[in-house]
Amino acid sequence: MNDSSSARTCVAVIGGGITGLAAAHRLQELDPVCEIHLFEASDRLGGVLQTTQTEDGYLLENSADNFITNVPDALELCRRLGMEDELLPTNEALRKAYVVRRGELFPVPEGFVLMAPSKIWSILTTPILSWGGKLRLAREYFVPKRNEPTDESLASFVTRRMGQEVYDRLVQPLIGGIYTADPLKLSVQATLRQFVEMERKYGSLIKGMRNRDKAEQQQSHSGARYSMFVAPRLGMEQIVQRLAERLSHQSIHLNSPVQSIRNNAEGWQVESNDMSQTFDAVIVALPAPQAAEALHEFESLADGLRTIPYAGCSVAILAVDQKQIKRPVAGFGFVVPEIENRRILAGSFSNAKFPGRAPSDKVVIRVFVGGACHPELADLSDDQLKEIVLDELGDLIGLEGEPEKFLVTRWMGKMPQYHLGHLDRVAKLEAEASELPGLELAGNAYRGVGVPQCVQSGEKAAARVVTYLRQTMAETSQKDG
Ligand SMILES: Cc1cc2nc3c(=O)[nH]c(=O)nc-3n(C[C@H](O)[C@H](O)[C@H](O)COP(=O)(O)OP(=O)(O)OC[C@H]3O[C@@H](n4cnc5c(N)ncnc54)[C@H](O)[C@@H]3O)c2cc1C
């Protein structure tokens, strides 16, 4: 396999999720003669990305249903795959999210971007916060900036700057919903670094939001923020299919869980259930726990990988008739604060976000259950989950009767948690991996969980492998004469 006299290099990519696929595709783009072997444990490509198209006109997303374009890597990849025209913007007319307060749904104040306010008027008039909470938020302007360079939890950062109520009522549900994480443990530096930098630069988030240049601000008030999201017409798996088509002449090994990766005199030996081969380089595009297993020979690296915790959630998808919803919501969905003591994290309306997701008189609701704070709920049986979900949706949006469809997908241990100190842990892992030339780590465990960040991580790993292989070949040919 590994032959230093030939110019053809051979690289293994481990993991057939979006990270591994993007890595393999980039390798092929940068070095068209490179022989690529992609190893995937399951019987399909795509990993977490899963789209179900039904014969009766539904397009259901079991996990991710869109991606952001301000981190441009997924968009760029779609362009290179010739599918830019297939990307749908979110429905402009309904670009709104809601938050539950005392059992009722209220719009997230316009201008509240993830965790910072930019439009004072909408904050002053929102029923989501009490007057005390609004006044405390206004005082953010005068809260001195924190000077220590150490990491801080998201909860601490927000309560320190904007008060407990803004944290409980807005930030916890908005951010907890994205990361399905516990904000008391979540690292603000690893997840929302831009706000830490805003505090450092302007001394206050209110000042920072005001001072951001106008164009940027227009991009990011809560409605317009949705203009940054797109989805493929045929769902997220369309990207997976395009990548698989591009890689069709390479060796894709399905049902091939990799058990170990070792370094030997010829290169990198990869052992899967039914083969053992040596490669010039290897990209490990696995979730951290599985990467630790495969790399168990490298004890310190494996131990480091095991320090990145994962949580999970269940996604329940319901298809119902519009008439079954007695209090319909004009928006993309809603989030539920912890202090509401409900049993669901969030709900989103797929047919409101993108066209072609449901027949015209139907509504598709995706409900998220579990997360880092309630793992026991995600573990319930389908019947128990159905009871909970119908009960909660009955209360919140007046859903009545049986759904036409009810599907549950469980994503246990699939969501990395960027806890306090995450960036230090990742820097240490990267330093250790850099001591192993020809080995690259990529995936959602390190520097971003979104699809664009995964694409970026895979593509950067591919570029580093190509540079390494070129250097090695140049050194070999110099030695040879
Ligand atoms: C419910 C949910 C909703 C989400 N929503 C969004 C969203 O709307 N937008 C967004 O941008 N992101 C979203 N994300 C995040 C994003 O989808 C994921 O972070 C991303 O898809 C992960 O891709 P990956 O390739 O790194 O990992 P995975 O998709 O986990 O792929 C890893 C692959 O490795 C394989 N594997 C495991 N062990 C081995 C082994 N030993 N040998 C070989 N193969 C192995 C697995 O079978 C899997 O196919 C969501 C995630 C979840 C769970």
Model pLDDT for residues 335-365, shown as the tens digit of each residue: 999 999 999 999 999 999 999 999 999 999 9
Q: Does residue 147 lie within any of the structural domains?
A: yes
As a whole number, mean pLDDT of residues 115-124 equals 72
290 & 439 share domain? yes
Cα of 347 vs centre of ligand 1, distance in Å, is 21
Last residue of a domain, one of 416, 437, 452: 416
Does 327 lie in the same domain as 185? no
In this prediction, residue 157 carries a pLDDT of 95
The pLDDT, as a whole number, for residue 3 is 44
Mean of pLDDT over the chain:
91
Domain identity same for 302 and 423: yes
Do 215 and 147 lie in one domain? The reply is: yes
Domain harbouring 85, CATH code: 3.90.660.20
Instruction: Average the pLDDT over 88-101 and give the result.
Output: 93
Answer whether residue 226 shows pLDDT above 70.
Answer: yes
Where does a domain end: 363, 391, 416?
A: 416
- Quick check: is 302 in a domain? yes
The residue whose CA is least distant from atom 10 of ligand 1 is 450
Please tell me the distance between residue 235's alpha carbon and the centre of ligand 1 in angstroms.
Answer: 15
Q: Give the pLDDT of residue 355.
A: 95
> CATH code at 138?
1.10.3110.10
Final residue before a domain boundary, out of 416, 441, 472? 416
Asked if residue 246 and residue 179 are part of one domain, the reply reads: no
3-state secondary structure the chain: CCCCCCCCCEEEEECCEHHHHHHHHHHHHHCCCCEEEEECCCCCCECCCCEEECCCCCEEECCCCCEECCCCHHHHHHHHCCCHHHEEECCHHHCCEEEEECCEEEECCCCEECCEECCHHHHHHCCCCCHHHHHHHHHHHHCCCCCCCCCCEHHHHHHHHHCHHHHHHHHHHHHHHHHCCCCCCEEHHHHCHHHHHHHHHHCCHHHHHHHCCHHHHHHCCHHHHHHHEEEECCCCHHHHHHHHHHCCCCEEECCCCEEEEEEECCEEEEEECCCEEEECEEEECCCHHHHHHHCCCCHHHHHHHHCCCEEEEEEEEEEEEHHHECCCCCCCEEECCHHHCCCCCEEEEHHHHCCCCCCCCEEEEEEEEECCCCHHHHCCCHHHHHHHHHHHHHHHHCECCCCCEEEEEEEEEEEECCECCHHHHHHHHHHHHHCCCCEEECCCCCCCCCHHHHHHHHHHHHHHHHHHHHHHHHHHHHHHC
Q: What percent of the chain has pLDDT over 70?
A: 94
315 and 175 part of one domain:
no
> What gap in Å lies between CA 186 and CA 252, rounded to an integer?
36
Whether 161 and 208 share a structural domain: yes
pLDDT band at 480 (very low <50, low <70, confident <90, very high): confident
3 occurs within a structural domain:
no
* Statement: residue 319 has pLDDT above 70: yes
Please indicate, yes or no, if residue 98 is contained in any of the structural domains.
no
Please write the tens of the pLDDT for every residue from 403-458. Answer: 999 999 999 999 999 999 999 999 999 999 999 999 999 999 999 999 999 999 99
Q: Tell whether 302 and 315 lie within a shared domain.
A: no
* Residue 143 pLDDT exceeds 90: yes
Is the confidence at residue 218, as pLDDT, over 60?
no
Q: Answer whether 38 contacts ligand 1 (Cβ < 6 A).
A: no
Is residue 230 situated within a structural domain? no
Query: Sorting pLDDT into bands at 50, 70 and 90, what band is 5?
Result: very low
Whether 345 is in the pocket of ligand 1, judged by its Cβ within 6 Å, is no
Candidates 113, 160, 125; CA nearest to 139 is 160
| CA-proximal residue: ligand 1, atom 52 (nearest) | 63
Integer angstrom CA distances of residue 414 from 29, 290, 313 = 29, 11, 8
Q: State the residue range of the domain holding 300.
A: 10-47+235-308+419-480
Q: In the prediction, which pLDDT does 338 show?
A: 92
Least confident of 147-151, 160-164, 175-179: 175-179
- Asked if residue 472 and residue 429 are part of one domain, the reply reads yes
Average pLDDT estimate for 277-302: 98
Q: Is 41 in the pocket of ligand 1 (CB under 6 A)?
A: yes
The CB of 208 under 6 Å from ligand 1? The reply is no
How many domains does one find in the chain? 3
String of b and e for 178-198 (b: at least 16 CB within 10 Å)? ebbbbbebbbbbbbbeebbeb
In a domain, 61, yes or no: no
pLDDT confidence band for 288 (50 / 70 / 90): very high
- Range with the poorest average pLDDT among 12-16, 57-61, 380-384: 380-384
In this predicted structure, the answer to whether residue 148 has a pLDDT above a threshold of 80 is yes
Q: 69 in ligand 1 pocket by Cβ < 6 Å? A: no
> What pLDDT shows up at residue 114?
65
Q: Is 14 close to ligand 1, i.e. is its CB under 6 Å away?
A: yes
The minimum-distance atom of ligand 1 relative to the CA of 258 is 42
Is 299 among the domain residues? yes
- On whether residue 149 sits in a domain, the answer given is yes
- Position 225 confidence tier, pLDDT thresholds 50, 70, 90: low
pLDDT at 287 over 70: yes
Residue 6, pLDDT > 80, answer no
Q: Give the number of the atom of ligand 1 that is nearest the alpha carbon of residue 415.
A: 53
Residue from 451, 453, 455 to probe ligand 1 pocket by mutation (most atoms less than 8 Å from CB): 451
Ligand 1 atom nearest to 368, measured from its CA: 1
pLDDT of residue 215: 46
Which atom of ligand 1 approaches the CA of 444 most closely?
26
- Please report the atom of ligand 1 found closest to the CA of residue 457: 26
Same domain, 209 and 244: no
Q: In the predicted model, what is the mean pLDDT of residues 208-226?
A: 58
Q: Find the 48 Cα to ligand 1 centroid distance in Å.
A: 4
- Measured in Å, residue 109 CA sits from the centre of ligand 1 at 32
For the residues 49-63, what does the mean pLDDT come to?
96
What would the mean pLDDT of 168-184 be, rounded to a whole number? Answer: 85
- The per-residue pLDDT for range 241-263, each reduced to its tens digit, is 999 999 989 899 999 999 999 99
State which ligand 1 atom lies nearest to the alpha carbon of 445: 26
Is 449 touching ligand 1 by the criterion CB < 6 Å? yes
Atom number in ligand 1 closest to CA 409: 1
Are 121 and 270 within one domain? no
Average pLDDT over residues 202-217: 74
Mark whether 456 and 445 lie in a shared domain: yes
